[in-house]
Amino acid sequence: MRSKRFKKLPEKTKDLPSEKIEKLLSEIKKNCTTKFDESVDLSFQINNKQKKNEINIRTVVNLPGGSGKKIKVAVVCEDSKSSEAKNAGADIVGGDEFIEKIKNGEMDFEKLICTPSMMVKLSKLGKVLGPKGLMPNPKLGSVTENLKEAITNAKSGQAEIRNDKDGNIGVSIGKKSFNDDKLIKNFNAIIETLEKEKSNNTIKGELIKSAFITSTMGVAYKIKLVKNF
């Protein structure tokens, strides 16, 4: 049963011609009629089925305009690095005892960072952390000696870009309350990151088959990409 609010939204927007994001943001915000600050989200369909191999993209991008989300960051490290982690703004800091808590299902955090030496112990919890997307990864900057940088990036606005087996990527570029300039900067940062991934993976043909923008409770519009991906 559709709500009265949803019935007032435009219909069949996915069938409309694609437009540049600068033009679509006003439509997206106009459709944000809920009482909360809706997220502005992107969805991509990428060409990950290559002739020689299947492309799996997994990376992070620091959003210059921030994410608008409060991220609870946990750090697993040696006692000697606990103060560094706490001073950098980590919400939870611990070592062996904390690992045991995670093992028992205590995962009250959205981001987990650890030092390389503690990763050996943490790696045994792959079945617990993996399905929730919480396992630290050196490629994503969450296994590092530089805890301050990792925590700051996670807190200030960092988005993970990851495709599923069908080539779908979903990522948020901020909130309805953000001004257009912030949202466009975040959008461009994500596009630039995907462009680098295309080069790194030597992808043949276009990388992005289609791109859409929507809000949490809104409808989707097709984005016209200026660059050739």
**Does residue 124 contact residue 100 with C-beta atoms inside 8 Å?**
no
Give residue 48's pLDDT.
82
Q: Superfamily for 13-57+163-222? A: Ribosomal protein L1/L10, rRNA-binding domain (3.30.190.20)
Q: How far apart are CA 102 and CA 48, in angstroms?
A: 34
Task: Specify the 3-state DSSP secondary structure of 112.
Answer: strand
For the sheet with 168-175, list strands across it. 168-175, 39-46, 208-215, 221-222
Element (H, E) at 100: helix 96-103
pLDDT in tens, the chain (229 residues): 456 555 566 667 777 889 999 999 999 999 888 999 999 999 999 988 776 677 788 999 999 999 998 999 999 999 999 999 999 999 999 999 999 999 999 999 999 999 999 999 999 999 999 999 899 999 999 999 999 999 999 999 899 999 998 999 999 999 999 999 999 999 999 999 998 888 777 777 788 999 999 999 989 999 999 754 4
Picking from 36, 174, 181, 24, the residue whose alpha carbon sits closest to that of residue 10 is 24
Q: Distance between CA 112 and CA 116 in Å, rounded?
A: 13
Cα angle 170, 171, 172 (rounded to 5 degrees) comes to 140
**Per-residue model confidence (pLDDT) at position 6:** 52
Q: Where are the domains of the chain?
A: 13-57+163-222, 73-156
Which top CATH class is 73-156? Answer: alpha beta
pTM: 0.84
Longest Cα–Cα distance of the chain, Å, equals 58
